Amino acid sequence: MLGAVLSPAPKAPANKIEIALGRTAAACVHPVAAWLTKRRSMRAMLVAGYFVIGFAAAFAALLLA
């Protein structure tokens, strides 16, 4: 048998948490696309989120050093 074996499609639709996690992951991987498709209020949250993640990463690096 050639090719990959795919799992069957899920029976239940995605819930709100799964959708939010997927959109968050997409915004992290493709920030320009996330910036262009969001409203101004969502852009502010995107900038704040990147700031918080960067601050947490720098703080963790200082703690590990």
pLDDT tens column, 9-44: 667 777 888 888 888 888 878 888 878 876 888 788
Q: Which one-letter amino acid corresponds to residue 19?
A: I
Catalogue the E-assigned strands of the chain: none
| pTM strictly above 0.85 | no
What is the rounded CA–CA span in Å between residue 46 and residue 31?
9
If one compares 57 and 10, the residue with the highest pLDDT of the two is: 57
Please give the distance of CA 57 from its chain centroid, rounded to a whole number: 16
Q: Compute how many other C-beta atoms are within 10 angstroms of the C-beta atom of residue 8.
A: 5
